[in-house]
Structures are given as C-alpha cells and as structure tokens.
C-alpha cells in the first residue's frame, strides 16, 4: 500500500477533499492530509460535498503534520502555494509534487463542488503518475 500525504495551509477544504478522493478512487493508495497551520475543523461545505459523493468518513479531520511525521510516505502533495513554499523537511527523503487549487473557503457551495471536480480530474492522474515513477 502506497502512502500519500496531501498538504495545504488550513487542512479544512482542499487537502481533506484530496485525501478522501485518493482513498475512494485510487486502488493500492492510502491518503492522509494535514495543514501547515491547521484550522482545527473541516469546512462544513467540504464535508457536505464529500457526503453527497458518498466518500465522507468520520476519520477525516484537520490536523498538523506533527501527528503524521513518523509515517513513511511515498509521496507528498501540496495543494496550495503556502504549503508548497513552507513544506517542511521529512525524516527521510520523499518525492514531492505541487498541484495548486484555489481555496473555496468562504465561498458558496458551488465553489466546493467545482474544487471537488477539479481535484478529481487534475490531482488524481498526477498522483497516479508520480507513484508509477516510484
């Protein structure tokens, strides 16, 4: 089982959606998410879009990298510029890719639906390709 970490700033929208999509759609891949400055909550609209698509799980929550630092990841994905610029060092070398998405936080629900679709269409193929190179 390959392990992927999806990082953003607040770990309330984009990275949670990315984690859920990877877990639901990519066989042989286990995803986690975290924030460089976690908000401590999952955005209600992010949860709603995952529920409507049948992939919400109560195990998803906003957390800091410190909770996951001991996991040996096969790939780290940053989904916002701030996380990309501040991506910390890991105990062992790990491949990283950056695929930025606009933050839907504070916007109408339609923005979360668009972000979900964009992450599914853009991020999943890039994660698959990056893991094939491993």
Instruction: Examine residue 102 and state whether it is found in any structural domain, yes or no.
Output: yes
**Enclosing domain of residue 31:** 2-123
- In a domain? residue 133: no
- Which residue in the list 24, 26, 55, 87 is annotated as catalytic? 87
Q: Establish whether 87 is a catalytic residue.
A: yes
pLDDT reported for residue 87: 64
**Does residue 89 lie within any of the structural domains?**
yes
pLDDT tens digit string along 55-89? 999 999 999 988 998 899 999 999 987 766 776 66
The backbone torsions φ and ψ at residue 97, rounded to the nearest 5 degrees and listed phi first, read -130, 155
Q: Is residue 25 part of a domain?
A: yes
Flag the least confident range among 1-5, 84-88, 110-114: 84-88
The structure's pTM equals: 0.94
Dump pLDDT digits (tens) for 10-36: 999 999 999 999 999 999 999 999 998
CATH number for 22: 3.40.50.2300
Residue 74 phi/psi, 5° resolution?
-90, -20
**Total domains, the chain:** 1
Q: Is residue 57 part of a domain?
A: yes
Phi-psi region of 2 (alpha: psi -120 to 50; beta: other; left: phi over 0): beta
Q: Is 129 inside a domain boundary?
A: no
- What pLDDT score was predicted for residue 134? 59
In a domain, 101, yes or no: yes
Query: Catalytic annotation on 13?
Result: no
Residue 111 tokens read as 């923005």
Could you say which of 5, 6, 8, 34 is catalytic? 8
Helix (H, G, I), strand (E, B) or coil at 91: coil
Active-site entry in 80, 83, 119, 123:
80
Per-residue pLDDT at 109 exceeds 70? yes
Q: Is residue 58 included in any domain, yes or no?
A: yes
Mean pLDDT of 104-117: 97
Dihedral over Cα of 112, 114, 120, 122: its sign: negative
Whether the predicted pLDDT of 91 surpasses 80:
no
For position 69, what pLDDT does the model report? 86
């Amino acid at each position: 089982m390959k392990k992927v970490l999806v990082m953003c700033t607040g770990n309330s929208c984009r990275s949670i959606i990315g984690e859920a999509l990877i877990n639901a759609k990519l066989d042989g891949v286990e995803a986690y998410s975290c924030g460089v400055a976690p908000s401590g909550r999952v955005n209600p609209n992010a949860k709603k879009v995952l529920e409507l698509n049948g992939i919400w799980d109560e195990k998803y929550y906003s957390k800091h990298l410190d909770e996951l630092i001991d996991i040996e990841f096969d790939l780290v994905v940053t989904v916002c510029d701030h996380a990309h610029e501040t991506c910390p060092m890991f105990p062992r070398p790990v491949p990283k890719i950056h695929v930025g998405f606009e933050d839907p936080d504070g916007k109408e629900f339609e923005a979360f639906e668009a972000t979900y679709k964009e992450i599914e269409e853009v991020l999943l193929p890039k994660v698959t390709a990056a893991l094939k190179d491993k």
